[in-house]
Amino acid sequence: MDEPQGTEAEGGNVGAPETDPDTFTVTLDQFTGPLDLLLFLIKKNQMDIRNLAVAPITDQYRRFIDEMEDLNLEVAGGYQAMASELLQLKSRMILPRPPEVGSDEADPRKTLVDRLLLYRRYQSAGGVLKDRAVEAARRFYRGTVDLSAPYRKGVILLQEATLFSLLAEYRIVLDASRGRRRPPQEIALDSSRVEDRARDILGRLADREELVFDEVFFVAAPRVDLLVLLLSLLELSRLHLIRVRQEAPFGAVRVSTGERYRPGVAPEAQMTSEQIFEVEEEPAHA
């Protein structure tokens, strides 16, 4: 059967300019299946999908398959099957119907039209979901909050404080001390020693289980005393007589007794002068 030439709509070219109004080249990767290609041809020819003109669509679809084969490109089986289905539907639409058949006979195009409408509906929904995914990728959400039992009971989980967090707290105390102007006074020779301040800290821990970093330092104290207090904390932490912890980044630093602290023992007996700034020897490995 010769294909009618006058009913063909001009072909379209996807991704490249047209060179011949009677031919078109379509990149197969732009279509996810034969129904996608059919919807493209229907939209290009501005047809009503419910009143599908089978003959021109079949001719253009067949021309697409032929173009792919002429370029020695492998055409998926689904496209070949749809081409056969369109040719069969075209022949049914062209052949005259028997006069005894009433008008109640189902439209041969109904099955294909229903498939196209359903596919277009899913295609539209997929586009909406894709847009939402792109929009969600541009948003940054806060991390989940752990609502486990310790938090519900009001228990605060403490983390080990680092040297940098101690120095940061020391900087805050130092800056606060600079902001206070004191009247002129006589400067006496400071005889503060690290071991004396260390024993003072242990004595305060004997009365209380825990101290806040700000309670150890006195803002109005001279800078030398602040430095001695900081060195005392570092030494006691090195000797495992105290434990320094921080609740969260930039949170309060807390000081409590360490592993080697002996309850009920006087601060003078907790440590000796020889222990200050001693370097602990590494155990020899066999």
Q: How confident is the model at residue 24 (pLDDT cuts 50, 70, 90)?
A: very low
pLDDT at site 245: 86
Cα 185 to the chain's mean position, in Å?
A: 59
pLDDT at site 13: 36
Asked whether residue 15 is domain-assigned, the answer is no
Query: Are residues 127 and 153 located together in one domain of the fold?
Result: no
**Do residues 25 and 70 touch, judged by C-beta distance below 8 A?**
no
pLDDT digits (tens, 9 = 90+) for 215-265: 777 655 677 778 888 888 888 888 888 888 887 777 788 888 888 888 877
Query: Are residues 225 and 112 located together in one domain of the fold?
Result: no
Query: Are residues 55 and 173 located together in one domain of the fold?
Result: no
pLDDT digits (tens, 9 = 90+) for 127-183: 889 888 888 888 877 777 666 655 555 555 566 777 777 777 777 777 776 666 666
Query: Are residues 155 and 60 located together in one domain of the fold?
Result: no
Asked whether residue 123 is domain-assigned, the answer is yes
- How many CB atoms are closer than 10 A to CB 35? 19
Largest CA distance in the chain: 126
Average pLDDT, the chain: 72
- Bigger pLDDT: 241 vs 76: 241
Expressed as residue numbers, the domain containing 40 is: 28-95+107-134
**Do residues 252 and 212 touch, judged by C-beta distance below 8 A?**
yes
How far is Cα 236 from Cα 242, in angstroms, rounded to an integer? Answer: 6
Q: Which of 121, 130, 127 is nearest to 49 (CA)?
A: 121
Number of separate domains in the chain: 2
Q: How confident is the model at residue 59 (pLDDT cuts 50, 70, 90)?
A: confident
How far is Cα 15 from Cα 25, in angstroms, rounded to an integer? Answer: 9
Q: Is residue 80 predicted with pLDDT exceeding 50?
A: yes
- Bigger pLDDT: 49 vs 256: 256
